[in-house]
Amino acid sequence: MTDTRHHKGRAAVTNRTGRFEAMQREAFDDGWNTGEQDLPPLRTEVAVDSSRSILTRNTSPDIPFEHSINPYRGCEHGCIYCYARPSHAWLGLSPGLDFETKLVMKPDAALLLRRHLARPSYRPKVISLGSNTDPYQPIERRFRITRQILEVLSECRHPCGIVTKSSLIERDLDVLAPMAGMNLVRAFISITTLDRALARRMEPRAPTPLVRLRAIESLSGAGIPTGVMVAPVIPGLNDHEIETIIRDAAAAGATSASHVLLRLPLEIRDLFQEWLATHEPGRAKRVMSLIRQCRGGRDYDSGWGSRMTGTGPVADLVSRRISMACKRYGLERRSWSLDTTQFIRPSADPRQPSLF
């Protein structure tokens, strides 16, 4: 049994041990009425990543980009369903509460990017920001690493796509708008639900749904092609909102839409079921039953192509509803078509001016 009163503002119910650890820890009630309720509130801690490279190469055939940058590891938004949670186990940390509270930043990201783009062998391809954790999570206000990366990309006229659920992206309109004018950037705002109470439980430190819709409006008004990602779709929990989310996003100025069915790989499966038992006990059994119907009877199926959308009648119905809603409200499916021909190779050292 785990007392969750000190987890206010956090989604994970426990700090489940990562899969690479030699020992597993489990909280239980020993009858002495002591334990987690006596611990101080969880605080966000930020460490420094000393990696010597910044670009991650994607080889997955069902992902529409080859290169990505993640300025941060872990995410303070704390979305319980986040598919990036298991990556925290590689750091010896828990994909549970550690993922939300023990973050890692990459302060040299912009410099490392510049050096990579300066290589004579480099050939420009669309770079995705936010493919793993959100580049505009709350600590970006202080560290501004995403901002620095965008400034390098803008200087080099290098295309990029951004996926976020944060309105903080509006801060960088002065960089993004000129890039959009040259067909160098697209933005995608993730909206899981329009139910503010449900959002607060599932994604406790992310901006509210209304704020995200306003971000779509701001980006679109600045001339930045902006799409909405209905992600993740959780059958039995938020799937009834599909058409409403796409309608409201279209009204705000979105030009495209896509969806991702809930994914429960590795530790996320148990973390999500703990969350259901705590916050949605009346719907937990039905939600898991519908998820398994979309995954061949399992909690998760990692097969290429189907892992994003699922299989079977329930998953097919979700895909058809997305397609029909896009058609009804005039939205395209997600596109990463950006111009790679304008690239200007930078100097490796930002202090060295160009001769041209």
Q: Give me the helix-helix angle, 145-156 and 173-181, nearest 10°.
A: 30
More confident residue, 241 or 32: 241
More confident residue, 3 or 299: 299
Across 67-71, average pLDDT? 95
Residue 58 pLDDT greater than 90, yes or no: no
What is the gyration radius of the CA atoms in the chain, in angstroms?
21
Nearest to 45 by CA among 83, 91, 80: 91
- Distance CA(318)–CA(304), nearest Å, equals 18
CATH T-level assignment (fold) for domain 42-333: TIM Barrel (3.20.20)
31: left (phi over 0), alpha (psi -120 to 50) or beta: left
Q: Which helix (H) or strand (E) holds 285?
A: helix 284-293
The number of beta carbons lying within 10 Å of the beta carbon of residue 305 is 10
**pLDDT digits 0-9 by tens, 93-128:** 999 999 999 999 999 999 999 999 999 999 999 999
**pLDDT digits 0-9 by tens, 183-226:** 999 999 999 999 999 999 999 999 999 999 999 999 999 999 99
Backbone angles phi, psi at 141, to 5 degrees: -60, -35
Cis before 232? omega within 30:
yes
Residue 150 pLDDT greater than 80, yes or no: yes
Q: Which percentage of the chain shows pLDDT scores above 90?
A: 79
Across 67-74, average pLDDT? 96
Residue 354 pLDDT greater than 60, yes or no: no
**pLDDT digits 0-9 by tens, 291-338:** 999 999 999 999 988 999 999 999 999 999 999 999 999 998 777 789
CA dihedral 217, 83, 12, 75 (to 10 degrees): -60
Residue 247 pLDDT greater than 90, yes or no: yes
User: Looking at residue 235, what is its pLDDT?
Assistant: 98
Looking up tokens 């809603």 gives 325
